[in-house]
Amino acid sequence: MAEPVVDPIEFELFNNSILSVADDMAQTIHRTTYSGVLKDNLDFSTAFFDARGRLVAQGLTLPSHLGSMPTALDAILRNFGSDIGAGDIFTLNDPFDGGMHLPDIFVFEPLFADDELIAFAGTVCHHTDVGGHVAGSNASDSTEIYQEGLRIPPMRVFERGRRNDTFFAFLDRNVRLPARLNGDLRAQLAACHIGRTAFAEVCAQYGLAKVKFYMQELIDYAERMTRAAIAQLPDGRFGFTDWIDDDGVEFGKPIPLVVTIDKQGDHMRVDWTGSSPQVKGAINSTLSVTKATPNNSRIGLD
C-alpha cells in the first residue's frame, strides 16, 4: 500500500480534530472536577500522544504540566513495555520515576484500533491533598520526600477494563479529603474516556493509515517550525548566572543557577553545568519539570 501524501487542507483539518480532542478532555475535567484547585485555578492539563509517547496535541492548559507529560508517559512505557492492553489505564506521581511533585497525579489511557496500540490520552491534575505531614501536601519545610505524601509508582488503575479497587481503597485511607481526591481522579478518567471516544471517531473518519501518517507529520511539522524559529536567533554562546537566596532550610546559603546556551543555525543546546546540586529544602526541580520549562539541562534539538 502506497504511503499517504500530505493534503494541506486535510492535514489542517486533522490537526484541528486532534487539538479539539485534547480541548474536549480539558473541558471534561473542568466540568466534572470536585476541587477549586482544578475548577477555579485550572491547575491541570490534557494531551494526546502517539504510540511511542511523543506529544501530538495538547489542550489549552498549563505549559509546565504539558511539558512534563512525555517524561511521565515514558515512565509508563519503560515500566510496562509491551504489556499494555485495551482497557488498561495507568497512573503515577513519583517524582523519581516520571512525576512532578506528589500532588500532581498523571493518568494515561492507551488507545487501540484494530488491536494495535495507536495513541495515548493523557491527563495530569494537581490534587488537593495526597497525605504527608501538612494539609495540602505542600510543606515548605520538608527535607525528604516521605514527608510530602503518597508516592505512586507507575501502575494500573484499570487492567483490561477491571477497576483496581485496592488502589482506590489505599488512597482513601491515606489522604485527608478522599471524596475530593476520588472525585478529581474520576474527572481524569472521564477525560480519558472522552479522548478514547473522540479518537475512535477520528480513526473512522480518516482511516488508520492516514491517522498514523498525519500524527507523524504533526510531530515533524512542529520540529520544522521550532527549528525555523531558532534559526532566526543570533548564533553564538551566551551565559547567565542567577541566585536563589536560600532553600528555606539552610538559611543564608545562596543557590546558584548557571546557564550556557550554544546556538548555531537551527540547533540550540542549553547547559546548566555549574548550577547547584540538590538542596535540602523542598525547592528542587524534578527531571520532568526541568524538561518542561526553559531550564533544560543538556537538552536540545540535536
Rounded Cα–Cα distance for residues 175 and 105 (Å): 13
Please count the helices (runs of H) and the strands (runs of E) in the chain: 7, 11
CA 217 to chain centre: 21
pLDDT in tens, 109-149: 999 999 999 999 999 999 999 999 999 898 888 899 999 99
For residues 24 and 194, is the Cβ–Cβ distance under 8 A? Answer: yes
Tell me what the pLDDT averaged over the chain comes to.
Answer: 92
Give the model's confidence band at 294: pLDDT under 50 very low, under 70 low, under 90 confident, else very high: low
Give the side-chain half-sphere CA count within 13 A for 274. 12
pLDDT at position 61 is 86
Torsion of CA 154, 157, 162, 167, to 10 degrees: 110
This prediction has a pTM of 0.93
Q: How far is it, in rounded angstroms, from Cα 80 to Cα 224?
A: 32
**pLDDT, tens digit (0-9, with 9 covering 90-100), for 15-61:** 999 999 999 999 999 999 999 999 999 999 999 999 999 999 998 88
What is the arrangement of strands in the sheet containing 236-244, beginning at the earlier edge strand? 236-244, 255-264, 267-271, 299-300
The confidence score (pLDDT) of residue 298 equals: 35
Residue 283 has pLDDT above 80, yes or no: yes
- Alpha carbon separation from 223 to 7, 52, 204, 217, 218 (Å, rounded): 19, 16, 27, 10, 9
Grid cell listed for 196: 478514547
Q: Give the Cα separation of 246 and 166 in Å (integer).
A: 41
Strand ranges (DSSP E) for the chain? 44-50, 55-58, 89-92, 104-113, 116-126, 155-159, 162-163, 236-244, 255-264, 267-271, 299-300
Lowest-confidence region among 62-66, 147-151, 164-168? 62-66
Task: Please give the grid coordinates belonging to residue 85.
Answer: 492492553
Query: How many CB atoms within 10 Å of residue 184?
Result: 25
Domain boundaries, given as residue ranges, for the chain: 8-223, 236-300
C-beta separation of 144 from 95 below 8 A? no
- Bridging pattern class, strands 89-92 and 55-58: unpaired
